[in-house]
Structure 1
Amino acid sequence: MQTIQYKFYIFVAYFFNMSFYNIEKILPGHSIDCVVFGFDYNEQELNVLLMKWKMGGKWALPGGVVYKDEILEDAAHRSLKERTGISVSVLEQFHTFSGINRRSEEEIQLMLSIAAKYDIKIEKWFRTRYLTTGFVTVVNMENTTPVEDIYSSECRWVPIKDKPELVMDHDDIFNKAMDHVRIQLSYLPISMALLPEKFTMKALKKVYEGFLGKPLERSNFQSKMLKLDILNRHEKLMTGAANKAPYLYSFDKEKYESLLKKGIGLFV
């Protein structure tokens, strides 16, 4: 059985790259964290991608260090792939978190007491003030297969309503990402990225409700979406009750892109 000391050493080795990276290649004092949103179509609820550390069972956003020879965007894509096995086409930078006490003194002291036994140079890294830049993206969950890395016991989608408390300032990063997406709901094709090609009006409404954090009146929401004239309506779902089966919709991509170019919001 692994000891607590060993588990914390694994943590140290990852975050400060003493065993697996050349420390001279790392950009001092800066890291990245990724907030990845997905929509569970079966359960009709918004999810976020999280990792569970092997030590202490703490949950965190996927992230990592930045190399001196790479830009932040490349660091974000690389770290997300290394930590979760997931590659995405777009990661948007939304905020840099520069809190002086991003890590608690208790956390630092606990890890220092272990790390110092292995390499005194690690102490310098623990005492370095680290800023982190947040990146956000939305993906179709069905096209992803999260895989935990050697430092995590789990890597999986977690419903927003069940999100546990996160380490350090990761709750602040998550909340800021939610605010960022809420603002973008009016002018970016977020729903298109989250939903399958064909979907119900109910599922589309659930996406908006998930980000807005409040229920939306069904007929009013449907009326607004249909007035935008960006949805194609298809045959009803076969549920055995033809009169009650919901219609399926898909986005008309040409009209969607035309609407975006005009600067007209999707949801106002």
Structure 2
Amino acid sequence: MPTDKHTSKKSYAGSKVLQIDGDSLQQGVSVDCVIFGFHDGNMKVLLNKFSYYTQWMLPGGFVGKEESIDTAADRVLKNRTGLENVYLKQFHTFGDWKRTKLPENEEMLILRGFENPKDREKHWLMQRFVSIGYYALVEYSKVKIETNEDEEIAWFDLKDIPELYSDHNEILEKALYTLRIRLSISPIGYELLPEKFTMTEMRIIFETILQKKLDRRNFQRKMLAAGLVYKLDEVSKKFGVKDSALFSFDKEKYEKALTDGFLILE
């Protein structure tokens, strides 16, 4: 089930997909963004759904003729989260010739008044699209979601992802696989966690991405030994009645690990 569902009537540039002039676009190219957050002990993904269509989908958009794909992805991220200069990485190109489910796109057109078959066939949305996949790591509390009158946006727990539009489930799985590979050589967590966090929260992020349980004590020992985090003289009761120590990242060492590599989990 979705959490933190938004249906406000604020608008943003490019939100009404079916009203976009196809001549202004780089034909057949789109971007899809897997936006990860972490809240209440759960890894989450931001999804959106248009009122004239039944399926949820990853936030995405089309590329303008005078726009780079990176700029298009930045635009999508800002429109959906209100954030700029966050961790956003291109991870894969999705170009299977069957990935664009034309009946799904046709359903959208029919529901918006394109009943004439010839009009539907000529519409730019009915062509094949190659999508460039990006993943973003954002701090949940900083996200400021804006929607328009014909859509919903919601956070979903990773364990509760529904059947998505087109190949978006595959895109999400590929993003998770990419993060899993990244964890073998580079740290993660700084972009997802608040300034102060418990070791349990950090471990849950690692476990979710790796899809396996990690020994609590061993995990903490390795993190502290690597010097990526340090213990604060503060505690939290977020995960039960017992006080949990709070930690913070050593940003300088974290950024060095991003450059030099990270083998803490081997």
Give the TM-score taking structure 1 as reference length: 0.82
Match of 2:98 in 1: 101
- Check whether the contact 2:100–2:166 (CA below 8 A) recurs between aligned residues: yes
Q: 2:242 and 2:119 mapped to 1: Cα distance?
A: 68
- 2:50 aligns with 53
1:144-190: CA deviation from partner (whole Å, max 9, x where unpaired)? 122223431x2121111111111111001110011111111234442
2:65 paired residue among 65, 68, 72: 68
Query: Does structure 1 conserve the Cα–Cα contact (< 8 Å) formed by 2:52 and 2:108?
Result: no
Q: Take 2:104 and 2:262, find their aligned partners in 1: how far apart are those partners? A: 47
What number of residue pairs does the alignment pair up?
246
Q: What residue in structure 2 maps to residue 141 of structure 1?
A: 140
Could you say if the C-alpha distance between residues 95 and 161 of structure 1 is closer, same or farther in structure 2, counting changes exceeding 3 Å?
same
How far did 1:80 drift? 3.0
Who is 1:88 aligned against?
A: 84
Shift of 1:123: 2.1
CA distance in 1, matches of 2:134, 2:90: 4
- Could you report, residue by residue, the CA deviation over 1:60-82 in whole angstroms, capped at 9, with x for unpaired residues? 00111101111000011112333
Other structure's SS at 1:176 match: helix
- State the Cα distance separating 1:91 from its structure 2 match: 1.9
Aligned to 1:5: none
TM-score (norm 2): 0.83
| 1:227-246 correspondence runs (5 A) | 227-237=225-235, 239=237, 244-246=242-244
Structure 2 runs not aligned, ≥5 long: 1-14
Aligned 8 A contact 1:15 1:65 in 2: no
Q: Which runs of 4+ in 1 moved over 6 A?
A: none
Matched, 1:263 2:261: yes
- Report matched runs for 1:155-234 at 5 Å: 155-234=153-232
Give how far 1:87 is off.
2.5
Task: Give yes or no for contact 2:36–2:46 (8 Å, CA) kept in 1.
Answer: yes
Give the whole-Å Cα distance in 2 for the aligned partners of 1:33 and 1:67: 14
CA contact (8 A) 2:46 2:155 kept: yes
Task: Give the % identical residues.
Answer: 36
Q: Within the alignment, does 1:37 sit opposite 2:33 as a pair?
A: no
Helix, strand or coil at the partner of 2:191: helix
1:106 Cα deviation from its structure 2 partner: 3.2
* Residue 35 of structure 1, CA deviation: 0.4
Which structure is richer in relative contact order (CA contacts within 8 A, separation 6 or more)?
A: 2
Paired AA for residue 246 in structure 2 = L
Measured in 2, the distance between the counterparts of 1:81 and 1:238 equals: 32
Query: What is the distance in 2 between the residues matched to 1:116 and 1:238?
Result: 58
Structure 2 Cα separation of the partners of residues 24 and 229 of structure 1: 53
1:225/1:66 CA distance change after superposition, 3 Å: same
1: CA distance, partners of 2:105 / 2:141 = 38
CA-atom RMSD in angstroms: 2.5
**Which residue identity lines up with residue 69 of structure 1 in the other structure?**
E
Q: Which runs of 5+ in 1 are unaligned?
A: 1-12
Offset at residue 232 of structure 1 (A): 1.3
Output the amino acid matched with 1:64.
G
Partner residue of 2:7?
none
Contact 1:116–1:122 under 8 Å retained in 2 = no
